[in-house]
Amino acid sequence: MSEMSSPDTSVTTAEAPPARPPFIERLSDSLQNVVKALIGSNRRPPRRFRSLLNGTYLGHPLHPVVTDIPIGAWTVAVVLDIIWLVSPTANAWAANAALGAVAVGFLASLIAFASGWADWSDTYGAERTTGIYHGLLMTSAIILYLISGVLRFTNPAHDTVVAAVLAFAGYAVVAIAGYLGGDMVYAKGTNVNHTAWEFGGEDYEAVLPEKDVADNKLYRVTVSGVPVLLVSLGGKYSAISSTCTHAGGPLDEGELQKGDVVQCPWHGSRFELRTGRVRTGPATIAQPRYDVRVRDGMIELKRMGGH
Ligand code: FES
């Protein structure tokens, strides 16, 4: 029985057509490739444009900082449009002010647009799927506000009912997209510092015999349950958290580069081994550092910086 059933099973498996990924996954694949090409993800370091969009030079993700501006400005525009609609003649000032608010929001939204898609290009799985809906909705809202702004600008009264309705629709789309953006951060942990919950012990902990450590080689050790990257550079030791602050990549599996830098194997963030500082994004937060000492032939580490 078993001899007969085995070939049948293998034939069925061999003939089964490969499952086609859902449309949204194929769209995400293509879009991520386009975004990465545009922002220079695959270029050699320092990849400044990409780092700029991610917020590396700010020391904080750029996207959440700039999204507040369009949301605030467009909220003001909603109020002004309502005031204008109540009495267009008496409240002509509100039309002018609403045009200004829509324009400010639109200009800031372009930075949010670029930084958001840059961040999204490094996501996978569920956060990538939520992220593409978030991004497409926000892009739709920006287009609605662009049309609304053009209608206002070209109208002598600087507002029309159609322009106001388009802005209301855009605001509703922003609200839905904003909810999805919040879900990415608070439920899925996108762009959250992946070392935020790492803590160190009160004292130094022995991790390796000094004789076992070669120069210019990456070692993964554990301190108070936390994976730490240890390296000897010209006989001087450096140790930083081995979990990349960007998305949790294992730095001990990364590449040791010139200038005492380690590059993350997942998205190419580069960190100074001596200071933990981010040299190249997408990471924006420095790696936690460890003090290193040698006692009785053993290398001992202790977390620095308050934990
Ligand atoms: S996990 Fe993204 S660069 Fe390290």
pLDDT beyond 50 at 221: yes
Region of poorest pLDDT, from 13-27, 34-48, 228-242, 249-263? 13-27
User: Residue 306: what pLDDT?
Assistant: 57
Contacts of 57 (CB under 8 A, 6+ apart): 51
**Phi/psi of residue 239, nearest 5 degrees:** -145, 130
User: Does ligand 1 have an atom closer than 6 angstroms to the CB of 251?
Assistant: no
pLDDT computed for residue 2 by the predictor: 37
pLDDT score of 123 more than 90: yes
**Which residue is associated with the tokens 């609304």?**
148
For the question of whether the overall pTM of this predicted structure is more than 0.85, the answer is yes
Distance from residue 307's CA to the centre of ligand 1 (Å) = 23
Nearest to 127 by CA among 85, 83, 189: 189
What pLDDT shows up at residue 266? Answer: 97
Residue 23 predicted with pLDDT over 80: yes
pLDDT at 121: 97
Atom of ligand 1 nearest to the CA of 248: 1
Reference 258, options 286, 216, 290; nearest CA is 216
- State both tokens at 19: 């499952």
Mutation choice for ligand 1 from 229, 242, 264, 270, CB with most ligand atoms inside 8 A: 264
Q: How confident is the model at residue 14 (pLDDT cuts 50, 70, 90)?
A: low
Mutate to test the pocket of ligand 1, among 56, 123, 242, 244 (most ligand atoms within 8 A of CB): 244
Ligand 1 close to Cβ of residue 281 (< 6 A): no
User: Which of these ranges, 19-23, 76-80, 263-267, has the smallest mean pLDDT?
Assistant: 19-23
What is the mean predicted confidence (pLDDT) over 122-137?
97
Is the CATH code 2.40.50.110 the one for domain 205-303? no
Q: Find out whether 129 and 26 touch, Cβ atoms under 8 Å.
A: no
Instruction: Write down the pLDDT at residue 13.
Output: 54
Q: What is the pLDDT of residue 151?
A: 97
The token duo for 109 is 């939204």
CB half-sphere exposure, 286, CA atoms < 13 A: 16
**Does the C-beta of 249 come closer than 6 Å to ligand 1?**
yes
pLDDT tens-digit map of 40-56: 999 999 999 999 999 99
Q: Residue 11 pLDDT more than 80?
A: no
Which numbered atom of ligand 1 lies nearest the CA of 244?
4
pLDDT digits (tens, 9 = 90+) for 286-306: 999 999 999 999 999 999 985
- pLDDT category of residue 17 using cuts at 50, 70 and 90: confident
Has residue 201 got a pLDDT over 90?
Answer: no
> pLDDT-based confidence at 200, cuts 50/70/90?
confident
Please name every residue paired with 221 in a beta bridge, in sequence order, or none if there are none.
228
For the chain, give me the number of helices (H) and strands (E)? 7, 10
Ligand 1 atom at shortest distance from the alpha carbon of 267: 3
**Through-space distance between the first and last CA atoms of the chain, rounded to whole angstroms:** 64
* pLDDT confidence bin for 168, thresholds 50/70/90: very high
**In the chain, % of residues over pLDDT 90:** 87
Question: Domain spans of the chain?
Answer: 29-186, 205-303
